[in-house]
Chain A
Amino acid sequence: MAKIHTLRISNFRSIKDFEQVFGLSSFVCIIGRGDSGKTTILDAISYVLCGNWNLSIFDTDFYGCNIDEPIIIEATLYDLPARLLQESRFGLYIRGIDMTTNTIHDTLEDSHIEALTIRFTVERDLEPRWCVTNVRQEDIEIRASDRASLNMFFVSDYVDKHFSWNKGNPLYSLLRQEDNDLRENGNPIIDALRDAKSKIDNNSFSEFDSVMSRIKSSSAGFGIDIQKANTTVDLKDIIVKEGKVTLHEDSIPFRLKGKGSKRLISIAIQVEVAKSVGGILLIDEIEQGLEPDRAQHLAKTLRESYEGQVFIITHSRDVLVELKAENLYRMAKDAKRLFHFDDSFQGVLRANPEAFFAKKIIVCEGATEVGIVRAINNHRIKMGRTSATLEGVKLTDGKGSNQVIYSDGFLRAGFEVCMFCDSDEPNVNRVKESLRSQGISIIDCEDNLSIEQQVFKDLPWAGVKQLIEQQKHSTSNASVEDSVGNRYKHYVKNGVLKEGWADVEDEMLRLTLGDVAKDREWFKSITKGEMLGTVCCDYFSDMKDSRLNEQFEKLSKWIEHA
């Protein structure tokens, strides 16, 4: 039971001030760059809903280690267990959620959904306090057993205890659910341990006899009679450690299984618990230890069939493609709230899942442009400058005119967006001004030119020749010469191009090559685009004052500091 409607965090680890309304979302996938505070959010949830009676808090848990400001984490929950809604517990402390506005109110109305706000506070004494709070009344403490009824469960790296039958572990909760008379029927584990002890009791341990008799007679010498002494196991050692009874596979304990398998089994147990009572499941890096397809399957299964509320963090494109855009929330460093993606991102998500993990996105018109930017990136690395990865820049294929829709979407999602495009598409040209005014950097060609035309217009002639050679190499002499000859009759003699047609720089030839490269799709793949870009980069210093130079310069600069 219980789902988080709103989460507030202040002064906790990397988060100074944060408030997020999750509303009725049951599946929340948090994405964002490393160190943006995603795990801090999950930790915050696990602290405020912690079912243990105590937590160790350190100075380092305070934002900027500043212990003068208290850590406060507040979760407003709905779908509450009946036990918490009782008058004698927190029934008189409920607040109301207005579902139409997603706001929380202290003056209740009939249409409201009942909610409780739990506040976790740590002051400089490092003593954690949990209470239920509202603006009408004084806060009231909420005990660990009541918090435990919220059934929050964090799949972390330390899942070994989930495989033991200990009280407080999910396996034990399941047992309780199935058999309410557990207490009357006795605990089967303790009974089994008693049986084990009686077997040991009955063992004569005759191997010890001679040593025993020496001790007995020695003791008698000191006036103490231990004639009845025998050897067995101390009951204390086995009963207290009922938690030592754990799941095994062919006598190999589950704790020795691989990380991914352990996490999956642990999730499976929790899902079973949640089937009857719900619960809040937190999973950091859901793909950890799992092959892409298993991670994918896990995300899909949880999204479709988990009865409670799930919070996951992922860095995996494979996981993202299994989700709906509305499941995604993006965390940015120092952000005061998450960005919640909506339906309109569905297409972008399918086409460019990896872009969702970036800080800055270059939306390229097509594969050629993607290749060119990759080449620029390689060039930057070669020159000892920062890489796109380091700068958090992702390239996405805008698939032609969809480029505009994607750019607009990413901008709204809080990414920095650069659009790298041609200028030969009137539909795109028409909206460029408005996109610019919204804050998208647009790097495009001269009026009415495609990138191929721009390259052949501005690239030093040596570079042009190199591109022709490469094209000949990747197709054939004949095919290149045919396409050029068809367009450029001036160089054709007896149906074939003159020998040495490409030796001399010629404006008309540049135009022709541009047209041919565009129409015959010489560079229409990432690899070919990258090759094209590499050549351009090689001649970069020789093409000053050209648009091409300007484009490359701008792209390189944008990668560095948008």
Chain B
Amino acid sequence: MLNHQEFVAKDKSLLIAPAGYGKTHTIAESIRHTEGKQLILTHTHAGVASIKEKLQKSGIASSRYNIETITSFAQKYVFSFCNGEEIPSQDDRQYYPYIINNAIKLLRLKPITKVITSTYNGLFVDEYQDCTIEHHNLVSCLSDILPTRLLGDFLQGIFEFGRESLVDMNSTDMMGGFFNNRFALSEPWRWKNGNNEQLGNDLDALRRKLLQGDSIDLRNYASIETTLTRDLYKYNRTQILSLLTTEESILVIHPESARIEPRLNFIKSFNNICRLIESIDHKDFYTLSKRVDTISEDNFMAVIIEICNEVFNTTGVNLWLNAKGVKNKAKPADKERTLPLTAMIERLKEGVSFKLIAKILTEIQTLPGIKCYRKELLSTLCKALIEAEQNSSTVFESMVNKRNNIRKVGRKIYGKCIGTTLLTKGLEFDTVIILNAHEFRCHKNLYVALSRACKKLIVFSNRYVLTPYKQ
């Protein structure tokens, strides 16, 4: 058991807290052992909401803490103390680095440290493994003036290739004074209490192996259903289809994160049952929006078909549309069915309207034989179209707005989904299917994939022994 008193008594301490080991509960308990107001920083708004909920349930007075994302905390200081005209606009690539770096400069000034120490008596930082080097520098600044407790899990520190690099929680150099006061949570609570206790123990054992850099023999973990396969599309269709139809909360994880096609391929192959978890910044959101912005009375049909081919099945699109508009249908029932769509397309000829395009896309989605593989992309695009017309802005601007908003507020992801480790970090599903487990080249990614499951974990691999390490 963690000694909370000892944990908060140090000026700098570090808690290794794997997912599902009761980390949020630990924050609540630790606050009870502190005086005054605590600042709690995390990365996502979803994180903020979940900690807040836990603290409220634990009966800790809201005057005892302030929870924010690192970015919004930094923004607060930068907006209060920097010249507004010099701050880059929010869709600028330079925006976030500017905010963090300037916040660091501000937090080093004596008058501002006075504000911090007048307000807070201590600091907690959650999900520390997700901190970039800049975030880490900001926290270091704060740790000079406030007793600071970091919580996180090295093994969940995964990041997108090409993005700024993350803090290395295992580096003595980087973690300085924190390294000498390390604590750890050891009970996999999430899998107890009626879930799958054996799975919890197996994941805990797996975790140790991965931390040591050992290879893993899946046969040693009875709670994990491992299926050896050369081609799951060929040999495991029935098994997977039955899982997808019967399970309510199920997540499919694909190791390939750079390209979206393998996941789309899975969706198409398995009857469009799971929903694609889109990356917030996927380029298609922006390229499609820019494409719609070029629409005119002369090219609208070409643009509509381009969008349709991106979000719907090609066969379905070809069934109803051609370059001129709605196909002439022989059957009276089909003709009848396309009447509203034909009328809307006619109206487009008189003048382009974003709202009308949104209506047309929604109408096409309802046609028989049309399958939408990218529901989130389509619905966001339709919302951006409507908003662009209301605000007389470009669709691209509205789209940037929408995506930023989701980044800020977070989104609820549940049901039947497919994604990558990066997109599903922090989520829990009753059942998790991991595809091509042998393709994982990074032990952190494999651990994140495995630890998403609460009750049932199914792994497809071409071998039993995995060595998920970079060569």
Contacts and interface: CB of A to CB of B under 8 A. Distances in A.
Interface in B104-163: 106, 108-112, 114-116, 118-120
B119 A85 contact: yes
A86 B81 CA distance: 15
Given A86-B119, A88-B119, A91-B119, A96 B77 contact: no
B109 A112 contact: yes
A161 B84 CA distance: 48
Interface string A100-125: 00000001111111100000000000
Contact of B109 (A83, A86, A109): A109
B111 A114 contact: yes
Interface in A293-347: none
A153 interface: no
A108 B118 contact: no
B119 A136 contact: no
Given A96-B111, A108-B106, A108-B111, A85 B118 contact: yes
Contacts of B120: 87
B114 A85 contact: yes
A87 B119 contact: yes
A431 interface: no
A110 B106 CA distance: 9
Contacts of A93: 80
B111 A94 contact: yes
B119 A108 contact: no
Nearest to B76: A92
Contact of A108 (B76, B81, B84): B81
B169 to A, nearest CB: 28
Interface in B86-118: 106, 108-112, 114-116, 118
Contacts of B114: 85, 94, 114
| B interface: dominant SS | helix
A16 B77 CA distance: 37
Chain A interface helix/strand/loop/mixed: loop
Interface residues of A, number: 21
B442 to A, nearest CB: 39
B106 A91 contact: no
A137 interface: yes
Contacts of B83: 107, 136
Interface string A107-149: 1111111100000000000000000000011000000000000
Contacts of B106: 108
A110 B119 contact: no
A82 interface: yes
A113 B115 CA distance: 12
B80 A108 contact: no
Contact of B118 (A91, A96, A113): A91
A550 to B, nearest CB: 62
Contact of A110 (B66, B81, B108): B108
Nearest to B111: A114
Interface residues of B, number: 19
B110 A111 contact: yes
Contact of B115 (A94, A110, A136): A94
B80 A92 contact: yes
A91 B115 contact: yes
A136 B81 contact: yes
Contacts of B112: 94, 108, 114
A92 B118 contact: no
A85 B113 CA distance: 10
A13 B115 CA distance: 36
Contacts of A107: 81, 83
B251 to A, nearest CB: 39
Interface string B51-85: 00000000000000010000000001100110110
A273 to B, nearest CB: 21
Contacts of A111: 110
A112 B106 CA distance: 12
Interface string B329-348: 00000000000000000000
A83 B36 CA distance: 12
B39 to A, nearest CB: 9
A92 B76 CA distance: 8
Interface in A467-505: none
A78 to B, nearest CB: 10
A5 to B, nearest CB: 13
Nearest to A86: B119
A108 B76 CA distance: 15
B76 A112 contact: no
Nearest to B106: A108
A97 to B, nearest CB: 9
A442 to B, nearest CB: 51
Contacts of A96: 111
A86 B110 contact: no
A313 to B, nearest CB: 33
A137 B80 contact: yes
B454 to A, nearest CB: 38
A92 B82 CA distance: 11
A82 B114 CA distance: 8
A93 to B, nearest CB: 7
A396 B388 CA distance: 82
Contacts of B66: 87-88
A92 B108 contact: no
B115 A85 contact: yes
A433 B76 CA distance: 63
Nearest to A78: B111
A133 to B, nearest CB: 13
A87 B110 contact: no
A555 to B, nearest CB: 56
A136 B85 CA distance: 11
A111 B113 CA distance: 12
Contacts of B111: 94, 96, 108, 112-114
B81 to A, nearest CB: 6
B119 A114 contact: no
Query: Counting chain B CB atoms within 10 Å of each CB, which of A87, A94, A107, A112 scores highest?
Result: A87
Nearest to A82: B118
A91 B109 CA distance: 13
Contacts of B119: 85-88, 91
Interface in A219-267: none
A110 B112 CA distance: 9
B117 to A, nearest CB: 8
Contacts of A91: 115-116, 118-119
B144 to A, nearest CB: 13
A471 B83 CA distance: 80
A385 B431 CA distance: 108
Contacts of B108: 110
A83 B114 CA distance: 11
A110 to B, nearest CB: 5
Given A85-B118, A85-B119, A92 B81 contact: yes
B72 to A, nearest CB: 12
A110 B109 contact: yes
A82 B119 CA distance: 8
Nearest to B115: A91
A87 B39 CA distance: 11
A88 B39 CA distance: 12
Nearest to B81: A108
Q: Which one of B108, B110, B111 has the greatest number of beta carbons of chain A within 10 Å?
A: B111
A87 B116 CA distance: 7
Interface in B245-286: none
Interface of A: 82-83, 85-88, 91-94, 96, 107-114, 136-137
Interface of B: 66, 76-77, 80-81, 83-84, 106, 108-112, 114-116, 118-120
The 6 A-B pairs at the shortest CB distance, nearest first, are namely A91-B115, A85-B118, A114-B111, A92-B80, A82-B118, A87-B119
Given A91-B119, A108-B112, A136-B80, 16 more contacts: A85-B115, A85-B118, A86-B119, A87-B119, A88-B66, A91-B115, A92-B77, A93-B80, A94-B115, A107-B81, A107-B83, A108-B109, A108-B111, A109-B109, A113-B111, A114-B114
9 contacts: A83-B118, A85-B114, A87-B115, A87-B116, A91-B118, A94-B111, A107-B81, A108-B111, A112-B109
